[in-house]
Amino acid sequence: MPRKPATDKDVLVPADIAPGKPVSGESRQKASPVPADAQLSESYAEKQGDGGETHQVAADGAAVLTTSQGAPVADDQNSLKQGARGPTLLEDFHFREKIFHFDHERIPERVVHARGYGAHGFFELTDSLADVTRADIFQRVGERTPAFVRFSTVAGSKGSFDLARDVRGFAVKLYTKEGNWDLVGNNIPVFFIQDAIKFPDLVHAAKPEPDRAFPQAQTAHDNFWDFISLTPESMHMIMWAMSDRAIPRSFRTMEGFGVHTFRLVSAEGKSTFVKFHWKPKQGLQSVLWNEAVKINGADPDFHRRDLWEAINGGDFPEWELGVQLFDQAFADQFDFDVLDATKIIPEEILPVRVVGRLVLDRVVDNFFAETEQVAFCTQNVVPGIDFTNDPLLQGRNFSYLDTQLKRLGSPNFTHIPINAPKCPVAHFQQDGHMAMTNPRGRVNYEPNSWGATLGGPREDPVRGFRSFAEEADGAKLRIRPESFADHYSQARQFYVSQEPIEQKHIADALVFELSKVERPDIRARVVSHLINIDDGLAGTVADGLGLPELPASAQAAQPTRSDLPPSEALSIVKNGPPSFKGRKLGILLSDGADAALFGGLVKALDKVGAVYDVIAPKIGGVTLDDGTKVAAKQKIDGGPSVLFDAVAIVVSADGAALLADDAATQDFVRDAFGHCKYIGLTLDAQPIFANAGILDKLDDACIELGAAKDAAAFVDTIAALRFWPRELKVDLDAK
């Protein structure tokens, strides 16, 4: 029997995805704390307006399914056939249109930074920079500018996992009143290479090897380390990339950097050099490598889910915008070339001045329309902001525009709502694929003699963008300046600025990555560079790899490295959060668990602005000792402890007896312990720890939760996030 056409009662398009309503009810349910003036940017749905392709709404308010030409559809279940069992007819325009559109749904993923996640928000100026720049965004304290931010990993494909060991993109589009300014940065302030001409080689080497198409989203393979070991300028970046910066706990807990030296230009045409910093109000935090590996399996979307949940829960992530401002005289006396993107200017030498804040307060309405189609371009600057001759930045200015054409298919990508400026746009560019906003009127050229009204826009030498008139001279050369030659001093400075536990993680990461490299000569060549950074680090890595002997140190363009003073700002551990705010506690509950204790934990978490998930033997939840029923967010094997910043095991004696032999429960506590997390536990929970083999190892960070009164103190204690002394006891590499 052929299926019958759908009747009116078959709800094909639920009324709650009608125009103007969010696609998912969840996306708005908790977003009310936004102050009215905070949501400056129009949502995608609003942008669509009347002319957009939305669902037709009938008089009774129910949405009617239509073709893309707007013709109402009667039957979307069956194609048009010649007879009940006959061939499908070419005449079926509805079927053909639907399949045709589906066939063309994909666009090329970004060649790098393919996997990303974006959100809307605003930038608010807190300290005017009017004395150094005419950029409109930096003039009026208190004024807000709409922003869109996309975070990303670099090497992995769009469908790869969030916790790859990788640099994170931190791309910010600021819709200023004088045009879009894109600050396309990373969470690491330096880069692997000094000249953009090496970028294709770097990326080819990092991506899956071309014959076998693996490994995905990782640098732990021969090609990457071969290229790196032959590119000494990458050593500073390698220190950062092997540190815990490359496995952040959340997009919310990482810094962002503009990386290059840019210019601010005043109304009088005076230039001031600037380096941009985003500093998270949430503090810095990362996970451990073993944890990252397990998070990738348990929740490959860990970072995007975290951002989605925080914003929808009203806990809006916030960063301060800091600037390091300096002049040519500073640049001339600085130890390194400020045009070299493999170098930082330590904050101790040049303090970061905070001038504003970035708040993310709205998730997207549609991932593809906004996060996928957003097109960041480094060349999108505005009057008052300009480039320097950093050869990496100069190369990027070509690449980003070019790549958007490939990805989005038309020079009219600026017409897509997420890319369109929010200030007036007036020019004579026209036509092309998918032109949405061709200018009106007869005149499409200038100069013209049609007068001010009919003749269209005119240049404005005062308001308009003027490049800083830098003097340039010299022969055309393919050459690397000598001032770029010191590849090791700042690499060492980063290393010696780390806490011992962080130094251990760098060594562990190098040993892990190089253990996946098959060619011993490549492993040894990397170690030969480490000798130029720190003998101790080189020795530890050589030992971890089981190298028969330490290789000779690498030949360096500039053999002497200077011993620079450590910089506090470079350590994650020294810049952690002051409280548990914005973090998540995993509470493992069983039937009969202490209701007052559970209530106390919830109250204490609420007080500091933290969240929790209940994990239980069954997703239906548990009944506590006072008869209260609590729903679970996770069943134990779906909610391993790696998903939480700290855990509490609140179980009854019966509950513990039930769970003590369960492998997933044992993993839960063993991993929490192994990952140096704070653990709260009721006395009744002890059999679980005994069967997991860690009862006799419990330490000061394993805190007994005897009664409700212990809850607040526990939540205060877990602000420290990790109990590092434990790592030295649970890790073979530390022994």
Has 113 been annotated as catalytic? yes
Can the peptide bond before residue 447 be classed as cis, meaning omega within 30 degrees of 0? yes
Closest CA to 178 of 413, 385, 429, 445: 385
- CA dist 235 and 103 (Å) reads 45
Q: Is 110 in the site for ligand HDE (CB under 6 A)?
A: yes
Strands 634-635 and 646-650: unpaired
Residue 206 corresponds to which tokens in the numbers above? 């990092």
d(CA 582, CA 576): 13
Query: Which of 44, 191, 488, 580 lies at the binding interface for ligand HDE (CB under 6 A)?
Result: 191
Give the pair of three-digit tokens for residue 700: 């000061």
Q: Is 278 in the site for ligand HDE (CB under 6 A)?
A: no
Number of residues in contact with ligand HDE under rule CB under 6 A: 24
Using CB under 6 A as the binding rule, whether residue 199 contacts ligand HDE is answered as yes
The stretch among 66-74, 389-397, 535-543, 696-704 that binds ligand HDE (CB under 6 A) is 389-397
Contact status: 113 vs ligand HDE (CB under 6 A): yes
Task: Between 119 and 531, name the residue whose CB sits nearer to ligand HDE.
Answer: 119
**Backbone φ and ψ of 677, nearest 5°:** -85, 155
Among 19, 215, 300, 395, binds ligand HDE (CB under 6 A): 395
* Binding region for ligand HDE (CB under 6 A) out of 311-319, 390-398, 631-639, 647-655: 390-398
Residues 367-386 that bind ligand HDE (CB under 6 A): 376
Q: Are 12 and 72 in contact (CB under 8 A)?
A: no
Q: Is 396 in the site for ligand HDE (CB under 6 A)?
A: yes
Nearest to ligand HDE of 116, 680 (CB atom)? 116
Residue 529 annotated to the active site = no
* Residue among 243 and 686 whose Cβ is closer to ligand HDE: 243
What is the residue whose two structure tokens read 């005119």? 458
Nearest of 725, 712, 458 to residue 602 by alpha carbon: 712
Q: Which stretch binds ligand HDE (CB under 6 A): 40-48, 106-114, 436-444, 449-457?
A: 106-114
- Sheet of strand 646-650, all strands in order from the earlier edge strand to the far edge: 634-635, 611-616, 584-589, 646-650, 679-681, 702-704
Query: Closer to ligand HDE at the Cβ: 392 or 588?
Result: 392
The distance of closest approach from Cβ of residue 272 to ligand HDE in the complex, given in angstroms and rounded to an integer, is: 20
Q: Does 156 bind ligand HDE (CB under 6 A)?
A: no
Based on the shown chain and the rule CB under 6 A, indicate whether residue 274 belongs to the binding site for ligand HDE.
no
- Look up residue 441 and give its two tokens: 């009127």
136 contacts 176 by C-beta, under 8 angstroms: yes
Among 150, 221, 492, 677, binds ligand HDE (CB under 6 A): 150
Residue closer to ligand HDE (CB basis): 275 or 722: 275
Query: What phi and psi values does residue 94 have, to the nearest 5 degrees?
Result: -65, -45
Nearer Cβ to ligand HDE, position 258 or 655?
258
Q: DSSP string spanning 406-463?
A: HHHSSGGGGGSTTTS-SS--------STT---PPPSS--SSS-SSHHHHS-----TTT
Peptide bond into 215 cis (omega under 30): yes
Residue labelled with tokens 């600057």: 381
**Closer to ligand HDE at the Cβ: 254 or 585?**
254
Interacting span for ligand HDE (CB under 6 A) from 86-94, 111-119, 481-489, 569-577: 111-119
Out of 174, 184, 307, 533, name the contact with ligand HDE by CB under 6 A: 184
Is residue 189 at the binding interface for ligand HDE, with CB under 6 A as the rule? no
Q: Which is nearer to ligand HDE, 259 or 616 (CB)?
A: 259
Other beta carbons within 10 angstroms of residue 697's beta carbon come to 13
Q: 325: closest CA among 404, 271, 393?
A: 271
What tokens does 67 get? 């073709």
Among 94, 120, 180, 186, the active-site one is: 186
DSSP 467-493: -------S-------GGG---SHHHHH
**From the CB of 150, what's the least distance to ligand HDE, in Å?**
4
592 makes contact with ligand HDE (CB under 6 A) = no
Q: Which position among 41, 43, 180, 186 is part of the footprint of ligand HDE (CB under 6 A)?
A: 186
C-alpha 237/C-alpha 341 separation (Å) is: 10
Q: How far is the CB of 41 from ligand HDE (least distance, A)?
A: 17
Length of the chain: 735
- Cα 680 to Cα 690: distance, rounded to the nearest angstrom: 15
* 157 lies in the binding site for ligand HDE (CB under 6 A): no
Nearer to ligand HDE, 150 or 249 (CB): 150
d(CA 687, CA 284): 35
Active-site annotation holder among 94, 113, 221, 529: 113
Nearer to ligand HDE, 150 or 561 (CB): 150
Among 264, 265, 284, 392, interactor with ligand HDE by CB under 6 A: 392
- By beta carbon distance, the residue nearest ligand HDE is 169
Interface residue with ligand HDE among 121, 146, 185, 346 (CB under 6 A) is: 185
Helix or strand or coil: residue 107? coil
Q: Can you read off the two tokens belonging to residue 427?
A: 């020019």
Cα dihedral sign for 490, 568, 563, 273?
positive
251: contact with ligand HDE by CB under 6 A:
no
Which is closer to ligand HDE, CB of 173 or CB of 726? Answer: 173
Among 54, 399, 444, 717, binds ligand HDE (CB under 6 A): 399
User: CA 647, 651, 656 angle in degrees (round to 5)?
Assistant: 110
Residue 556 CA to residue 542 CA, distance in Å, equals: 20
The least distance separating ligand HDE from the CB of residue 321, rounded to whole angstroms, comes to 15
Comparing CB distances to ligand HDE, the nearer of 162 and 291 is 162
Is 689 a binder of ligand HDE (CB under 6 A)? no
Minimum CB–partner distance for residue 314 and ligand HDE (Å): 25
Q: Which is nearer to ligand HDE, 62 or 111 (CB)?
A: 111
Q: Which stretch binds ligand HDE (CB under 6 A): 96-104, 327-335, 388-396, 474-482?
A: 388-396
Give the interface segment with ligand HDE, choosing from 77-85, 112-120, 426-434, 593-601 (CB under 6 A). 112-120
Among 125, 172, 196, 533, binds ligand HDE (CB under 6 A): 196
Nearest to 586, CA basis, from 708, 469, 677, 655:
677
CA dihedral over 285, 290, 291, 292, signed as positive or negative: positive
> Closest distance between ligand HDE and the C-beta of residue 546, in Å?
35
Contact 127, 355 (CB under 8 A): yes
Contact status, residue 24 vs residue 16, Cβ threshold 8 Å: no
Asked whether position 171 contacts ligand HDE by CB under 6 A, the answer is yes
Applying the rule CB under 6 A, the residues between 320 and 359 that interact with ligand HDE are 341
How far is residue 62's CA from residue 174's CA, in Å, rounded to a whole number?
Answer: 37
Pick the piece of the chain touching ligand HDE (CB under 6 A) from 296-304, 315-323, 393-401, 525-533. 393-401
Question: Helices (DSSP H) in 282-432: which residue ranges?
Answer: 289-298, 302-312, 328-333, 367, 391-408
* Residue in the block written with tokens 């694929």: 433
Contact 454, 529 (CB under 8 A): no
152 binds ligand HDE, rule: CB under 6 A = yes
Name which position in 45, 48, 116, 510 contacts ligand HDE (CB under 6 A).
Answer: 116
| Residues taking part in catalysis | 113, 186
Site of interaction with ligand HDE (CB under 6 A): 110-113, 116, 150, 152, 169, 171, 184-186, 191, 196, 199, 259, 341, 376, 392, 395-396, 399-400, 403
